């Protein structure tokens, strides 16, 4: 290689960026110690812009297209360089390619629950997550405020910033909307639009970024609250608890009968369930939790006594006790009540024996 070839190799004559990562926002052309050749070709593809930076100062910006770099299309750089009548020598300048296409498949979420006051449940905690798309709307501002001297700037370097901005917007929108927690799902689209608008106001003027789309995928309650709601929903679906219990008992009895290996335990369980079910049915257990009235007390037992060959009465137990204390009713007095086959002495009837006190001992033999 001759001396002129070596000198020519020090000059850059084609400047371009071919990106297939889809997550790189800014890429600095690797000039190193090389100099850009006068008349070099600049190729800016769709979805890109090229920004020239000279000694830390933003210079010219090129939209998509192919350019031959001369003083005619580098007016700001020419002024910074002090070229008044054109230039023929190579020059040094940093070239940043900025992606202006929309970056998709970006995710956001709440690392900590958002505390809110719900009109139905009172104070609650909500978590949310979703997706969004990102696009550079002002390359100059993006390079100035975020990129600086970074040679490669990717979307993952914006995750913390974007998560904070979106979560703050989420809290503001939920607090202002006053939508009940159970009605949030049907308002996801409206909420997403308001969250996006609030977030764009924070990042557009400050960082030159835009959110073309933002979606709310889910807003959820704490797990314990969701379980309580599931139980409440289940009770509403079941409706009549009495009928549901009877159905459950019937299912269990059927399963026990169809289990040949259940043995005596299964028979006992089925019998117990049968008794419980019969008791519910007997008590009118179809009212879904309605109180069952107590049965009336049984009528008092009435007695007849034999008096001088005739039946006297009927008497209650309290009246018989008075007759026994007066001496008109003794242990040998014959009595009868419904259910007895024949007349029996009062002292031999268990229900009346207590009226006469303990029986006297028999006479002592040989006394």
Helix (H), strand (E), coil (C) string for 24-80: EEEEECCCCCCEEEEEEEEEECCCEEEEEEECCEEEEEECCEEEECCCCCCHHHHHH
Task: Count CA atoms within 13 Å of residue 323 on its CB side.
Answer: 22
The C-alpha atoms of residue 150 and residue 141 are separated, in whole angstroms, by 14
Domain containing 126 — which CATH number?
A: 3.30.479.30
Task: Kindly state whether residues 128 and 93 are assigned to the same domain.
Answer: no
How confident is the model at residue 283, as a pLDDT?
A: 58
Domain presence at residue 44: yes
Predicted confidence (pLDDT) at residue 108 exceeds the cutoff of 50? yes
Domain presence at residue 259: no
Task: Kindly state whether residues 80 and 117 are assigned to the same domain.
Answer: no
Task: Kindly state whether residues 113 and 78 are assigned to the same domain.
Answer: no
- Of the three residues 225, 257, 281, the one that is the final residue of a domain is 225
Domain presence at residue 312: yes
Task: Kindly state whether residues 112 and 95 are assigned to the same domain.
Answer: no
Domain containing 328 — which CATH number?
A: 3.30.1490
- Of the three residues 99, 122, 143, the one that is the final residue of a domain is 99
Domain presence at residue 343: yes
Task: Kindly state whether residues 138 and 86 are assigned to the same domain.
Answer: no
Whether residue 314 has a cis bond before it, omega within 30° of 0: yes
The C-alpha atoms of residue 245 and residue 289 are separated, in whole angstroms, by 11
Task: Kindly state whether residues 77 and 107 are assigned to the same domain.
Answer: no
**Range with the lowest mean pLDDT among 74-78, 84-88, 194-198?**
84-88
Task: Kindly state whether residues 348 and 313 are assigned to the same domain.
Answer: yes
| Strand pairing report for 214-220 and 122-136 | antiparallel
Domain presence at residue 256: no
The C-alpha atoms of residue 277 and residue 209 are separated, in whole angstroms, by 69
Give the domain extent around 182. 103-225
How confident is the model at residue 46, as a pLDDT?
A: 93
* DSSP code for 181: G
Helices (H), 208-312: 223-238, 241-257, 263-282
Which run of H or E residues covers position 168?
Answer: helix 159-177
Distance of CA 91 to the CA centre of its chain: 60
Q: How many domains does the chain contain in total?
A: 3
Task: Kindly state whether residues 110 and 210 are assigned to the same domain.
Answer: yes
Of the ranges 44-48, 279-283, 334-338, the best mean pLDDT one = 44-48
> What digits encode the pLDDT tens for the residues 236-250?
666 666 666 666 677
Whose tokens are 């084609």? That residue is 14
Q: What is the pTM of this model?
A: 0.58
Task: Kindly state whether residues 73 and 35 are assigned to the same domain.
Answer: yes
How many Cβ atoms are within 10 Å of 158's Cβ, its own excluded? 19
Domain presence at residue 205: yes
Task: Kindly state whether residues 144 and 45 are assigned to the same domain.
Answer: no
Task: Kindly state whether residues 65 and 160 are assigned to the same domain.
Answer: no
Of residues 139, 158, 163, the one with CA closest to residue 26: 139
| Coil, strand or helix at 66 | strand
> What digits encode the pLDDT tens for the residues 162-210?
999 999 999 999 888 888 888 888 999 999 999 999 999 999 989 999 9
Domain presence at residue 289: no
What proportion of the chain, given as a percentage, has pLDDT over 90? Answer: 27
Task: Kindly state whether residues 84 and 17 are assigned to the same domain.
Answer: yes
**Range with the lowest mean pLDDT among 118-122, 126-130, 145-149, 361-365?**
361-365
- Of the three residues 184, 200, 225, the one that is the final residue of a domain is 225
How confident is the model at residue 367, as a pLDDT?
A: 58
How confident is the model at residue 187, as a pLDDT?
A: 92
Sheet containing strand 48-54, strands side by side: 57-62, 48-54, 94-99, 24-28, 152-154
How confident is the model at residue 23, as a pLDDT?
A: 86
Domain presence at residue 14: yes
């Amino acid at each position: 290689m001759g001396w002129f070839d070596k000198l020519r190799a020090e000059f850059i004559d084609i400047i371009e960026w071919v990106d297939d990562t889809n997550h790189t926002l800014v890429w600095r052309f690797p000039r190193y110690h090389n100099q850009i050749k006068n008349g070099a070709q600049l190729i800016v593809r769709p979805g890109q812009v090229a920004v020239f930076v000279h000694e830390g100062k933003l210079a010219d910006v090129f939209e998509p297209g192919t350019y031959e770099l001369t003083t005619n299309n580098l007016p700001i750089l020419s002024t910074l360089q002090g070229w008044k009548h054109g230039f023929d020598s190579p020059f040094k300048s940093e070239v940043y390619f900025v992606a202006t296409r929309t970056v998709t498949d970006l995710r956001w979420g709440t690392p900590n629950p958002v505390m809110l006051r719900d009109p139905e449940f009172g104070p609650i905690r909500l978590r949310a997550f979703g997706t969004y798309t990102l696009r550079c709307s002002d390359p100059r501002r993006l390079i100035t405020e975020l990129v600086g001297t970074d040679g490669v700037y990717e979307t993952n370097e914006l995750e913390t910033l974007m998560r904070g901005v979106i979560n703050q917007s989420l809290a503001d929108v939920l607090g202002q909307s006053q939508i009940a927690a159970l009605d949030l799902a049907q308002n996801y689209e409206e909420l997403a639009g308001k969250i996006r608008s609030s977030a764009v106001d924070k990042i557009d003027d400050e960082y030159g970024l835009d959110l073309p789309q933002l979606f709310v995928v889910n807003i959820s309650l704490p797990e314990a609250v969701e379980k309580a709601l599931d139980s409440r929903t289940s009770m509403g679906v079941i409706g009549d608890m009495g009928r549901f219990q009877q159905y459950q008992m019937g299912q269990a009895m059927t399963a026990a009968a169809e289990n040949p290996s259940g043995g005596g335990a299964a028979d006992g369980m089925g019998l117990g369930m049968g008794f419980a079910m019969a008791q519910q049915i007997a008590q009118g257990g179809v009212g879904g939790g309605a109180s069952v009235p107590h049965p009336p007390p049984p009528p008092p037992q009435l007695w007849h006594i034999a008096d001088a060959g005739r039946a006297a009465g009927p008497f209650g137990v309290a009246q018989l006790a008075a007759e026994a204390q007066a001496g008109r009713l003794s242990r040998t007095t014959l009595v009868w009540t419904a259910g007895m086959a024949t007349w029996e002495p009062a002292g031999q009837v268990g229900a009346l024996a207590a009226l006469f006190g303990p029986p006297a001992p028999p006479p002592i033999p040989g006394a």
